[in-house]
Amino acid sequence: MVVYTAAGEVLVLRRRQPPDFWQSVTGSLRWDETDPMDAARRELREETGLGDEAEIVACNVINRFPILPPWRHRYAPDAMENVEHVFRVPLPERRTIALNPAEHGEYEWLARAMAAARVASWTNRDAILALP
């Protein structure tokens, strides 16, 4: 989920593990969740502190890719593929972000091209570059 401002700044978060792994807001469905939008709302709140006042827009993009070994422990034993739903969150201006310290160590607001260059995932990069 890409959080961005009207001025074109994109929020990127640095994960605690693996070190120096930058990304947008991400997450997975919990076992009891079936709607990706519900998971997106929960993850936005957990990772940034942004609440119901933030509009989440479904981009109608779904990416599928194999689950890499460092992330296998997060999935059911028989899950081999990740299904990623892309969302965006437009904000009028920068907001102070309340990070979940267990997941992320810092955040930055960067120009779109810089944010795209910073993130580790190609699907994240594509989502940033596709912003309106």
pLDDT by residue (tens digit) across 4-17?
Answer: 999 999 999 999 98
Number of domains in the chain: 1
Which residue range forms the structural domain that includes residue 88?
2-129
> pTM for the full model?
0.91
By CB atoms closer than 10 A (0-12, 13-18, 19+), residue 70 is exposed
Summarised one tens digit per residue, pLDDT across range 65-100 is: 898 887 788 777 888 898 899 999 999 999 999 999
Q: How confident is the model over 97-129, as pLDDT tens digits?
A: 999 999 999 999 999 999 999 999 999 999 999
Give SS3 for 45: helix
Q: What is the mean pLDDT of the chain?
A: 93
Distances (CA, A) of 62 to 36, 58, 67, 81, 82: 11, 10, 15, 12, 10
Provide the CATH number for the domain around residue 87.
3.90.79.10
Spell 94-115 as b/e; 16+ CB within 10 A means b.
ebebebeeebbeebebbeeeeb
CB 43 within 8 A of CB 1: yes
Strand 81-91 to strand 22-23: parallel, antiparallel, or no bridges (unpaired)?
unpaired
